[in-house]
């Protein structure tokens, strides 16, 4: 995957995870879901950035 594809995947996964269907599914524990997914999303971005730096992009 190149940079454009990776960032498109990160963006679309964020749109999907923070959209209505998932928020409705986890409505009873929405606070925990939001903070948990938010933290995992930041971690995924950090890992993508580290992998790109190692490849020299």
3-state SS, residue 2: coil
- State what percent of residues in the chain have pLDDT above 70: 96
Query: Token pair for residue 50?
Result: 């580290």
Gap between the Cα atoms of 44 and 50, Å rounded: 10
Tell me what pLDDT residue 7 has: 86
Least Cα distance to 41 among 13, 6, 3, 2 occurs for 13
Confidence of residue 34 (pLDDT cuts 50, 70, 90): very high
Tell me what pLDDT residue 55 has: 82
3-state SS, residue 23: helix
Residue 30: pLDDT above 90? no
Per-residue pLDDT tens digits for 3-25: 888 889 889 999 998 898 888 88
């Amino acid at each position: 995957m190149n940079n454009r594809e990776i960032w498109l995947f990160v963006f679309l996964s964020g749109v999907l995870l923070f959209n209505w269907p998932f928020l409705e599914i986890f409505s009873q524990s929405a606070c925990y879901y939001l903070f948990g997914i938010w933290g995992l999303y930041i971690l995924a971005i950090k890992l993508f950035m580290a992998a790109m730096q190692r490849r020299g992009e």
